[in-house]
């Protein structure tokens, strides 16, 4: 299995429109409810995706290109989106996600990364050595892990009203929760 950066960019470029089509103007009982306790809502996740585009993926890519393994990545604040989302509607966050993603992909394409650069290593504060290629592939897989989580959070709102059909719905048996 070889990482093809064009496939990664193809997916990254589609996520904002897919989330917009699914979520914009959907009733808040789908988008503003969670899976209990301090778990996230769909609204939280959209804020997190914006925050990660701003603070995580490209800043870390730049650090690898500039410093290699000599400087570890800054730790990522998993609750950084809370303040940044405050007072904003979900449609506004979806628009913001489309903008920031577009800007990030413009910058990524402009870097015109070559195989030797994609093989460069950086230092993750917890995981140790990771390559630029792995970081960028994870950006796309991170979109997918949150699409997976969004569908699970939404299905959770219907776990009682589906009655006996629950047995047939894999999403209601999912234990693939992100750390």
**Per CB under 8 A, does 41 bind its own copies?**
no
Backbone angles phi, psi at 110, to 5 degrees: -65, -25
- Shortest Cβ distance from residue 36 to its own copies (Å)? 13
- Shortest Cβ distance from residue 129 to its own copies (Å)? 8
Q: Which residue has the tokens 């870390």?
A: 60
Identify which of residues 105 and 172 has a Cβ nearer to its own copies in the complex.
Answer: 172
CA of 89: how far to CAs of 25, 49, 92, 147, 162, in Å?
10, 15, 5, 19, 29
**82 to 141, contacts with its own copies by CB under 8 A?**
124, 127-128, 130-131, 133-135, 137-138, 140-141
Identify which of residues 84 and 98 has a Cβ nearer to its own copies in the complex.
Answer: 98
**Per CB under 8 A, does 62 bind its own copies?**
no
Stretch that binds its own copies, among 27-35, 39-47, 59-67, 107-115 (CB under 8 A): 27-35
**Per CB under 8 A, does 48 bind its own copies?**
no
How many chain residues interact with its own copies (CB under 8 A)?
66
**Per CB under 8 A, does 162 bind its own copies?**
yes
| Residues 139 and 8: beta-carbon distance below 8 Å | yes
**Per CB under 8 A, does 158 bind its own copies?**
yes
> Which residues sit at the interface with its own copies, rule CB under 8 A?
1-4, 6-7, 10-11, 14-15, 17-23, 26-27, 29-30, 124, 127-128, 130-131, 133-135, 137-138, 140-142, 144-145, 147-152, 154-155, 157-165, 167-179
């Amino acid at each position: 299995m070889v990482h093809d950066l064009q496939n990664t960019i193809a997916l990254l470029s589609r996520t904002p429109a897919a989330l917009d089509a699914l979520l914009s103007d959907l009733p808040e009982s789908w988008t503003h409810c969670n899976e209990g306790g301090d778990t996230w809502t769909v609204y939280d996740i959209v804020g997190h995706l914006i925050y990660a585009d701003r603070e995580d993926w490209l800043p870390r890519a730049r650090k690898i290109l500039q410093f290699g393994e000599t400087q570890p990545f800054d730790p990522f604040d998993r609750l950084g989106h809370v303040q940044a989302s405050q007072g904003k509607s979900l449609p506004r966050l979806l628009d913001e996600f489309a903008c920031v993603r577009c800007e990030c992909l413009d910058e990524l394409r402009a870097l015109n990364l070559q195989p030797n650069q994609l093989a460069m290593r950086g230092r993750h504060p917890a995981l140790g050595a990771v390559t630029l290629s792995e970081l960028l592939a994870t950006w796309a897989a991170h979109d997918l892990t949150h699409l997976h989580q969004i569908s699970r959070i939404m299905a959770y709102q219907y776990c009682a009203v589906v009655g006996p059909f629950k047995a047939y719905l894999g999403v209601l048996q999912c234990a693939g929760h992100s750390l």
